[in-house]
Amino acid sequence: METSPPRRKQRRPPSDGDPDAAAAEERSVDCLPEDILKNIVSRLPISDAVRTSMLSRSWRRRWESTPGLCHLWSRGAHPAAIGAVLARYSCFVCEFCSRGIRREAFHFTDDWICLLAAKGVKSLTLSFWEYGVLNVGVPILHPAIFACDNGGRELEAMIQMSPLLESLELDNVELLDDEIDDWIIQTPNLRSLTIVSFTDDGWQIQELPSIQEAHIIVEEYFIDRDFVNLLTCLSQVSELELHLPFTEDNALEGLSCSFQKLRSLTLHTNFNDASSILSTFSLLSRAPNLKHLEMEVIFNDIPILIDAVSG
Amino acid sequence: MAAGKPVVMVTLVSSDGQSFQLLEEAALLSAMVRDTIQIGQGRGPAGIPIRNITGQTLSMVVVYCNKHYTAAAAADGDDAADEEKKVANKKQLREWDEQFINLEQDKLYDILVAANNLGIDGLVDLCCWRFADMMKGKSASEIRVKLGIRDDFTSEQRAQIEKDSPWVWSRTT
């Protein structure tokens, strides 16, 4: 057993007489100590937690000071309400997730991001959708464009100013600013990084001392991207998923670091040419503790799945 | 239980005089019992008096402590590397917990108060989880009735709340 928990507030003893009858009179949740009531509220979905403010005067502002609320919003949530809830919530935000953000709601996210940065958000998921212009009247949605006003610089600054950020997922994020060549992803507590996109948006990774898990799936990398440097920055990961580049030469030529902690590796590669085979082996030969290997061979646009488990 | 360890029992005595004997290690899940034993009391034949908790409630608490002590002891004996088994055991215990706490509200309330006074964190969390589960998706008036909360807003306050926070009562889907 660890050290004893802090002393609890004792409930007032029931009045004399039959304890059962006394207890029955007092069985309102309002007789429970404040830390218990907050414990209950912290387990509610965010919209239910906010709605407790309608219960009574003592419940009016309880959710605002309840630590640990998960800000996971369903698709139907009104974007103005999300912002208002964030503004009123006075604790740190561990997890924020809003999916299916429509085009007309894009501008709300600027406010959310400022509020979340101030509240030390640890996990932030924003997924954007827009209606396909060619499918007017047909509710077909496709991944939309996360258009930060100032492109990568703003995103870069946001990431750098979030020292508690542990997990970053950029799913089909496209930066519209042509001026941006290199912008840097650098934050001390990042454990998990996911980048999924079709084109290369010029991100660079630097100093991620806590990184444990990385998924880098970019279909078309910049021709001059330095993969040796990229993988050297990720040498501490235990789980790696990588879309290997299709280059003329072995993109991992000269890789000198060793992936001692790497347990699970998923590669998307093209065994068409010698360079991709060489890249694959450059990586595998430097991962002595690999337990699980999965490869997707992209071959004439038809993926063939190969599963392999090595001891 | 590891062989050779002496079996120490403690007795908990409810407010209505019922005695419950259990392994001291199981009773140590309670911070209150831990504190009592640390200052050298409670091991005698008179046991530890538990004020304000009736036998009916205390019997449930004892069942919880026994189950969780047994599960923890079994997990200690397991091969530490067998992740799958650990996960399966954890899931099993969680299922047992959910079954155990699936109680009518008055009993749940009494157990929560008892767990809080006895300082059994796991049981407090489980009761809070169950209360939250009962509140999910319910309207304010449904929750008020269920949990015995008195609506003490004045009509002016109510109007103000509705004006300030239109998202509060409109159900998000």
Domains in chain B with CATH codes: 9-75+87-136 (3.30.710.10)
Model pLDDT for residues B39-89, shown as the tens digit of each residue: 888 777 788 999 899 999 999 999 999 999 999 988 887 666 677 888 899
Report the pLDDT value the prediction gives residue A175, as an integer from 0 to 100: 61
| Vertex A171: Cα angle to A102 and A181 (nearest 5) | 105
Mean pLDDT of A148-157: 52
Q: What is the pLDDT of residues A46-100, one digit of tens each?
A: 999 999 998 999 999 999 999 999 999 988 788 888 998 999 999 998 888 888 7
The pLDDT tens digits of the residues spanning A216-225 come to 988 888 777 8
**CB contact (8 A) between residue A59 and residue B149:** yes
Q: Phi, psi (5° rounding) for residue A23?
A: -65, -40
CA pair distance A40, B146, nearest whole angstrom:
15
Percent of chain A with pLDDT over 70: 72
Chain A nearest CA to B23, separation (Å): 15
CB neighbour burial string for B99-119, b if at least 16 within 10 angstroms, e if fewer: ebbeeeeeebbbbbbbbbbbb
Per-residue pLDDT tens for A263-277?
999 998 877 778 888
Q: Determine whether the interchain pair B167/A84 forms a contact, defined as Cβ–Cβ distance below 8 Å.
A: yes
* Single-letter residue type at A179: E
Dihedral over alpha carbons A121, A123, A124, A125 (to 10 degrees): -160
Read off the pLDDT of each residue in B23-41 and give the average, rounded to a whole number.
93
Contact A117, A187 (CB under 8 A): no
Does the CB of A127 have a partner CB in chain B at under 8 Å?
Answer: no
pLDDT: which is higher, B3 or A191 = A191
Most confident of A122-136, A199-213, B16-30, B82-96: B16-30
CB contact under 8 A, B109 and A77: no
In this prediction the ipTM stands at 0.91
Q: What are the pLDDT digits (tens) for A127-138?
A: 766 543 322 222
Looking only at the bridges linking them, the beta strands covering A123-131 and A141-143 are antiparallel
Q: Does B167 sit within 8 Å of A48, measured CB to CB?
A: no
Q: Which pTM value belongs to this model?
A: 0.68
A10 touches chain B (CB under 8 A): yes
Put simply, the answer to whether B149 touches A85 (Cβ < 8 Å) is no
C-beta atoms surrounding A300 within 10 Å: 8
* Chain B neighbors of A74, CB-CB under 8 A: 172-173
Asked if residue B165 has pLDDT above 60, the reply is yes
- Token pair belonging to A224: 């001059």
Please report residues of A whose CB lies closer than 8 A to that of B132.
40-41, 43-44
